[in-house]
Structure 1
Amino acid sequence: MKYTFLLISFFILNTTHAQSIKDSIFKEDIVTLVEEMEFMYGYDQMLREYTLYQTFDKSDTDRIESLPDSLNVIEIEKRKFKSDSTVKFIWQKYILPKDIEHTERMIEITEKYGFPSTKRIKMYYEEEFNDPEFNPYILLIHAPKEYWNELITLMKNELDNNRISKCTYGHMLWHFTGRKSFQPMLDNGYEMVEENGKTILKSTCQ
């Protein structure tokens, strides 16, 4: 019994020490990491938006995205590429290859520093983000399918070490299992509720 207690205590101390080290080096490298991730995030969003709106002007894309759904659809229809092959070319040449690079880099960052959630970043980073919507989370959501199993294991470890919430894990798991069912979310911090006559998924996480 005493041996078991000592073993558990050793494990807890080891885990706490490892977390402390990750936090320490994360704080030390925070500026470089944020600048790098802001670039990856900006590239990710800019190219995807271009395939819809044919513009790199963020003020214009923000304006369109703020329109009511019916007007948004009309605007997208007006701006769509005449050739589907152009969109396919952009995805194959500029988006998908970078999704791979960004995923691999985010895995490296997470393994070394722990997952860099915006909440965790703001503990050490005092500047405003270049894009108020910046969120490294998106870079993993766009991970290619071949990385899903690795990411499920990695993010479960982040959950177990309290670096992401149960809801964040559930939403990621939903993506990494192909979004076939809401069960991964319902098992991890979400619930179905009735609001205004509609059934919606709602987070129970604070």
Structure 2
Amino acid sequence: MKNLFVFSFFLITTITLSQSAKEKRFKQDVARLVEEMESMYTIDKLLLEYSSVISYNRSDTVRIDNLSERLGIVETANKKIINDSLTDYIFKNHINPKYGEHSVRMIAIIKKYGFPGKERIRLYYDKEFRDPKFMPYRLLENAPLEHSIKLKKLLRKELKKGRINKCTYGNLMWRLSRPMDTQILLDNGYVMEEKDGVPHFKPDCE
């Protein structure tokens, strides 16, 4: 019994120290990590935008975003790639490989620092993000399936440690699952609402 108590105490102490070490590392390196993740986020966004409007010029996409919904649809349609084989080529040779690279890097970051959620970043980083819509978890939304098992395992651990929001966890687990079962969302902080007869899933986490 005494040996069991000593082992349990040692295990708890080790886990606590490991947690503290991760937080300390994260605090020290947060500026560098934000810069790196923002860079990956921008690359992903530009590649996707290129596939939509055949342009790396942000002013093009900003201009389209500022149009009314109807005009935006028309403008995007006019610029859209009409050659399906070219679209497939872009995704296969440019977009998907980057998703893979960024997923591998994010896995390494999570292992070393814990999940770099926006709320956690804000504890140690008060500068404005380059893109106001920047959300680190989006770098994992399109992770290739070959990384899904490893990512799911990591995300479960991060949820238990309290380093990832339940809704963010649910969103990512849903995207990493095949088939994509909406029950995963409902079990992890989402509620279903109907709009014009179409079901929508809305995050409802504090």
User: What is the TM-score with the length of structure 2 in the denominator?
Assistant: 0.88
SS in 1 for 2:192: strand
What is the alpha-carbon distance in structure 1 between the residues aligned to residue 79 and residue 195 of structure 2? 35
Alignment partner, residue 135 of structure 1? 135
What is the alpha-carbon distance in structure 2 between the residues aligned to residue 38 and residue 106 of structure 1? 12
Alignment partner, residue 188 of structure 1? 188
The share of aligned pairs that are identical, in percent, is 43
Alignment partner, residue 144 of structure 1? 144
Output the amino acid matched with 2:204.
T
Alignment partner, residue 88 of structure 1? 88
Instruction: Identify the range of structure 1 (9-18 vs 113-122) with the bigger mean alpha-carbon deviation.
Output: 9-18
> Which whole-Å deviations, capped at 9, do the CAs of 1:63-87 have from their partners, x for residues lacking one?
3234444333222211112422322
Instruction: Identify the range of structure 1 (188-197 vs 167-176) with the bigger mean alpha-carbon deviation.
Output: 188-197
What pairs with 1:104-183 in structure 2 (closer than 5 Å)?
Answer: 104-178=104-178, 180-183=180-183
Distance change in 2, residues 1:187/1:47 (3 Å)? same
Instruction: Identify the range of structure 1 (155-164 vs 50-59) with the bigger mean alpha-carbon deviation.
Output: 50-59
Alignment partner, residue 35 of structure 1? 35
Unaligned stretches of 5+ residues in structure 1: none
Report deviation, 1:22.
Answer: 0.5
Instruction: Identify the range of structure 1 (70-79 vs 24-33) with the bigger mean alpha-carbon deviation.
Output: 70-79
RMSD of aligned Cα (Å):
2.3
Unaligned stretches of 5+ residues in structure 2: none
User: What is the TM-score with the length of structure 1 in the denominator?
Assistant: 0.88
SS in 2 for 1:191: strand
Alignment partner, residue 64 of structure 1? 64
Report deviation, 1:29.
Answer: 1.3
Report deviation, 1:26.
Answer: 1.0
> Which whole-Å deviations, capped at 9, do the CAs of 1:106-144 have from their partners, x for residues lacking one?
000000000111111121122211111112211111101
What pairs with 1:8-27 in structure 2 (closer than 5 Å)?
Answer: 9-27=9-27
What is the alpha-carbon distance in structure 2 between the residues aligned to residue 115 and residue 160 of structure 1? 11
> Which whole-Å deviations, capped at 9, do the CAs of 1:173-206 have from their partners, x for residues lacking one?
1101136321111111122246787653232311
SS in 2 for 1:200: strand
Report deviation, 1:93.
Answer: 2.0
SS in 2 for 1:164: coil
Instruction: Identify the range of structure 1 (170-179 vs 64-73) with the bigger mean alpha-carbon deviation.
Output: 64-73
Output the amino acid matched with 1:171.
N
Instruction: Identify the range of structure 1 (115-124 vs 195-204) with the bigger mean alpha-carbon deviation.
Output: 195-204
SS in 2 for 1:28: helix
Does residue 76 (structure 1) correspond to residue 76 (structure 2)? The answer is yes
What is the alpha-carbon distance in structure 2 between the residues aligned to residue 88 and residue 195 of structure 1? 33
